[in-house]
Amino acid sequence: MSEFVFPPSATPSAAVAASSQRFPVHRIYCVSGNYADHVREISSDPPVFFMKPADAVVANGAAVPYPSRTVNCQHEIELVITIGREGRDVPERRALEQRSFPRFDLQPDRFACR
């Protein structure tokens, strides 16, 4: 076993509705293209693809930390699609087969905290 300088964080996870199970979060891939103003802030060519760290997930009802001098913290709602299998160049007709854990969600997302 590795000897860490400090204890590693627990595996980020999301609650599964109507269950005691949790879904492990390894990677969060994002596509931005629905809000033209936000896309222009990042790039001139939509859609924009980016990633967020898995530990950006916050439990339901938990406090969302942000810097104490923040005066403007905005939020929006995101469509979340859980993908449970690896895939590459998956034809559209087979896309739903990649979801070994069928789940679509709406999740709040915080951004532009200044």
Q: Taking the model in full, what pTM does it have?
A: 0.61
Same-domain status, 50 and 22: yes
Rounded distance between C-alpha atoms, residue 54 and residue 32, angstroms? 18
Domain assignment of residue 37, yes or no:
yes
Could you tell me which residues come within 8 angstroms of residue 57 by beta carbon, excluding any fewer than 6 positions away? 12, 13, 14, 25, 28
For residues 45 and 76, state if they share a domain: no
The letter for the amino acid at 45 is D
Same domain, 109 and 77: yes
Answer whether residue 22 shows pLDDT above 80. Answer: yes
Q: How confident is the model at residue 6 (pLDDT cuts 50, 70, 90)?
A: very high
- Reduced to 3 states, what is the DSSP secondary structure of residue 96? helix
User: What pLDDT digit, counting tens, does each position of 36-73 carry?
Assistant: 666 667 666 777 788 888 888 888 788 877 778 888 87
Would residue 79 count as lying in a domain?
Answer: yes
> Amino acid letter at 19?
S
Residue 4: what pLDDT? 92
3-state SS, residue 36: helix
Report the C-alpha gap between 67 and 18 in whole angstroms: 34
Q: Is residue 5 part of a domain?
A: no
**Tally of structural domains, the chain:** 2
The SS3 call for residue 37 is helix
Q: Do 50 and 75 belong to one domain?
A: no
